[in-house]
Amino acid sequence: MNFKEQIKQGIPTELPSPKAYDPNINHAPKRKDILSAEEKKLALRNALRYFEPQHHATLLPEFQNELETYGRIYMYRLRPEYKMYARPVSEYPGKCEQAKAIQLMIQNNLDYAVAQHPHELITYGGNGAVFQNWAQYLLTMKYLSEMTEDQTLVMYSGHPQGLFPSHKDAPRVVVTNGMMIPNYSKQDDWEKFNALGVTQYGQMTAGSYMYIGPQGIVHGTTITLLNGFRKINKDTHGGLFVTSGLGGMSGAQPKAGNIAGCVTVCAEVNKKATETRHSQGWVDEVISDLDELTSRVKEAVANKETVSIAYDGNVVDVWEKFDKENVHIDLGSDQTSLHNPWAGGYYPVELSYEEANEMMANNPEAFKAEVQKSLRRQSEAINKHTAKGTYFFDYGNAFLLEASRAGADVMAENNIDFKYPSYVQDIMGPMCFDYGFGPFRWVCASGKPEDLVITDQIACDVLEEMKKTSPPEIQQQMADNIQWIKGAQENKLVVGSQARILYADAEGRINIENAFNKAISEGKIGMVVLGRDHHDVSGTDSPYRETSNIYDGSQFTADMAIQNVIGDSFRGATWVSIHNGGGVGWGEVINGGFGMILDGSKDAQRRLEAMLYWDVNNGISRRSWARNDEAIFAIKRAMKKNPMLQVTLPNFVDDELINKM
């Protein structure tokens, strides 16, 4: 059977032979054993409903074994034999181009070079799933190979509910992930309902088929570091940045540090993760000894080297050692997976990697205590550094949130705020999001690197032209992004599909996409898939991250993200997604995104103009209503250009009047 035939068959009628567990692959850790005996029966009944009854007796013991051994039923046996990667769009079976492009995006999310735990269908963040099991994958690909432009595929947390009649302008796919009744949306609830097979954590771009490897986060981290060093008035050359994590997203930090030009130290406890990033050239050196690390860092800083160093061990040890040895850290952060603290996201100091894995599965209460103890120790060491002048920021991984819950000394005097800002409060929010600058991305569906080169050039030309007349408020953003796109080819950022990320405001995004659409219509490039990270101006309500610089109380509401996905879906998105969880954790955030296919048609032009305009201005209007000056500037500018846009603006109350109360 060739590739197309395999996709079209969906779940095979004859079961493939069982697959051996491959120890060379980075596997998800064993999940907590959370189901009662009765609930385990329910999980098995749920899993078996994908299969005809004649297979149940064969599959039952196998699935039961997976549930006992790994805490989840992944249906390893059904994992396809073909290579998993984003093929050129023409190689996918299908009745409409849009559905073929979505297949490409799904396979990219599961590519072994891209996905963190490919056999468990996890793309990044330890638990960011594309599907819960392989049956869901096979069925979804089959539906996509059959759908027409008059149907919409409905995805419930990885489960393809089916194809429903719709119309040409409707999204081809509507994705929801992890949407729970709010009172049942806590860590343990998620573990339980995920183990039952009825929900999944889609992270942001995992369960929405929009992950493009670590490039997206390299760009965001580069922008954050450049602006972070600007904030402390320090040249990046000769500056030291200390952080942790060389995983799915965090692995981008050393590369971003190199692009920014500083010395980066990144601690990582998982040797496999370190080896991967080192072999990919994303981190320059690996050091396992703390004394050696200290002298190497001192030397690199003194020589103003641009170098990234992985410390093969726990980050707590690095913070403590550098304090003792008086190594001055300019910028400090953390990117362990604290959105998922009890199931492998954070490894406590003084336990080996193996000991920690064993304890989290077999003695979760003791493990939780170790995590909290370690967070208190890490915070104490960080506090010593900040007292000596380090600028520490939370990088959206829930570090401060979990540290505060562990009783660490991270609260500000008012006992409401944290001692340290999140990167959004100080950097991304006021400098980027409030002006409408956010991470939009594109994938060249032909799979040709030449197409990506042409699109890079088009995007650069458009931005350079716009910069000539841009107001001073956004000149720095324009300049940083022009520099980024110019260096993008040289920095070899492509992992998986031919993709590029860039920050632009609504006008920039629309101008660039229109130029792409024109180039497609002229036959200069093939189809383009447009999308973005959910981590953007409008897509995400997350009080400790994307919306942490909203101060009118509405940071704990989720209207913006919901409005966004609804608005995108009727303005022409090819697919839309809305997720509970993502980035900072289950129950902590609602985030949404879209995908859009540009095929050079007039329809594509109409859709991109209508949808992108809303997709950015929705968030700016909300940020402006929250009284953020930069957003008020941006929305007034947008209204001036388009009289059809009428946004309610806030009035400011004199503080003296309020304080007299």
Question: Is the CB of residue 453 less than 8 Å from the CB of residue 489?
Answer: yes
Select from 248, 240, 247 the least CA-distant residue to 265.
240
- Binding mask 52-91 vs ligand NAD (x if CB under 6 A, - otherwise)? ----------------------------------------
**Binder of ligand NAD out of 335, 372, 497, 624 (CB under 6 A):** 335
- Binding mask 160-199 vs ligand NAD (x if CB under 6 A, - otherwise)? ----------------------------------------
Provide the minimum distance between the beta carbon of 583 and ligand NAD in the complex, in angstroms, as a whole number.
4
Q: Which amino acid is at 303?
A: N
Distance CA 606, CA 518 (A): 12
Size of the site for ligand NAD (CB under 6 A): 33
- Helical residues (DSSP H) of 346-493, grouped into ranges: 353-362, 364-387, 399-405, 423, 429-431, 449-467, 475-487
Identify which range of 291-299, 334-342, 515-523, 642-650 contacts ligand NAD by CB under 6 A.
334-342
Residues 530-569 contacting ligand NAD, CB under 6 A: 535
Q: Report the 10 Å Cβ neighbour count for 104.
A: 23
Query: For residues 117 and 159, which CB has a smaller minimum distance to ligand NAD in the complex?
Result: 117
Query: For residues 99 and 360, which CB has a smaller minimum distance to ligand NAD in the complex?
Result: 360
DSSP 53: G
The token duo for 105 is 């995006």
Distance CA 401, CA 247 (A): 20
Query: For residues 263 and 267, which CB has a smaller minimum distance to ligand NAD in the complex?
Result: 267
**Binder of ligand NAD out of 6, 64, 148, 270 (CB under 6 A):** 270
User: Which phi and psi angles does 31 have, rounded to 5°?
Assistant: -85, 155
Question: Is the CB of residue 156 less than 8 Å from the CB of residue 162?
Answer: no
Q: Is 267 in the site for ligand NAD (CB under 6 A)?
A: yes
Query: For residues 121 and 466, which CB has a smaller minimum distance to ligand NAD in the complex?
Result: 121
Distance CA 352, CA 375 (A): 16
Q: Is 315 in the site for ligand NAD (CB under 6 A)?
A: yes
Identify which range of 335-343, 492-500, 606-614, 624-632 contacts ligand NAD by CB under 6 A.
335-343
Q: Which amino acid is at 74?
A: Y
**Binder of ligand NAD out of 336, 383, 455, 517 (CB under 6 A):** 336
Question: Is the CB of residue 446 less than 8 Å from the CB of residue 499?
Answer: no
Provide the minimum distance between the beta carbon of 221 and ligand NAD in the complex, in angstroms, as a whole number.
7
Distance CA 27, CA 20 (A): 13
- Binding mask 108-137 vs ligand NAD (x if CB under 6 A, - otherwise)? --------x-------xxx-----------
Query: For residues 340 and 605, which CB has a smaller minimum distance to ligand NAD in the complex?
Result: 340
Select from 136, 173, 169, 170 the least CA-distant residue to 154.
173
**Binder of ligand NAD out of 247, 257, 531, 567 (CB under 6 A):** 247
Q: Is 375 in the site for ligand NAD (CB under 6 A)?
A: no
Select from 114, 188, 216, 59 the least CA-distant residue to 536.
216
3-state secondary structure 444-486: ECCCCHHHHHHHHHHHHHHHHHHHCCCCHHHHHHHHHHHHHHH
Q: Is 228 in the site for ligand NAD (CB under 6 A)?
A: no
Q: By Cβ distance, which residue is nearest to ligand NAD?
A: 247
The token duo for 406 is 């562990």
Sign of CA dihedral 543, 544, 550, 551: positive
Q: Is 250 in the site for ligand NAD (CB under 6 A)?
A: yes
Distance CA 586, CA 246 (A): 22
Q: Is 284 in the site for ligand NAD (CB under 6 A)?
A: no
The token duo for 476 is 């720095």
**Binder of ligand NAD out of 86, 249, 262, 293 (CB under 6 A):** 249
Q: Is 220 in the site for ligand NAD (CB under 6 A)?
A: yes
- Binding mask 583-602 vs ligand NAD (x if CB under 6 A, - otherwise)? x-------------------
Select from 592, 615, 539, 567 the least CA-distant residue to 176.
592
User: Which phi and psi angles does 406 have, rounded to 5°?
Assistant: -85, 0
Identify which range of 36-44, 129-137, 267-275, 632-640 contacts ligand NAD by CB under 6 A.
267-275
Distance CA 505, CA 492 (A): 25
Q: Is 207 in the site for ligand NAD (CB under 6 A)?
A: no
Distance CA 165, CA 280 (A): 45
Provide the minimum distance between the beta carbon of 416 and ligand NAD in the complex, in angstroms, as a whole number.
22
Q: Is 211 in the site for ligand NAD (CB under 6 A)?
A: no
Helices 449-467, 506-521: inter-axial angle, 10-degree rounding: 140
Identify which range of 87-95, 194-202, 265-273, 294-302 contacts ligand NAD by CB under 6 A.
265-273
**Binder of ligand NAD out of 30, 87, 278, 339 (CB under 6 A):** 339
User: Which phi and psi angles does 541 have, rounded to 5°?
Assistant: -100, 115
Provide the minimum distance between the beta carbon of 362 and ligand NAD in the complex, in angstroms, as a whole number.
19
Q: Is 395 in the site for ligand NAD (CB under 6 A)?
A: yes
Provide the minimum distance between the beta carbon of 407 and ligand NAD in the complex, in angstroms, as a whole number.
18
Q: Is 308 in the site for ligand NAD (CB under 6 A)?
A: no
| Binding residues for ligand NAD (CB under 6 A) | 116, 124-126, 217, 220, 244-250, 267-270, 273, 314-315, 335-339, 345-347, 395-397, 535, 583
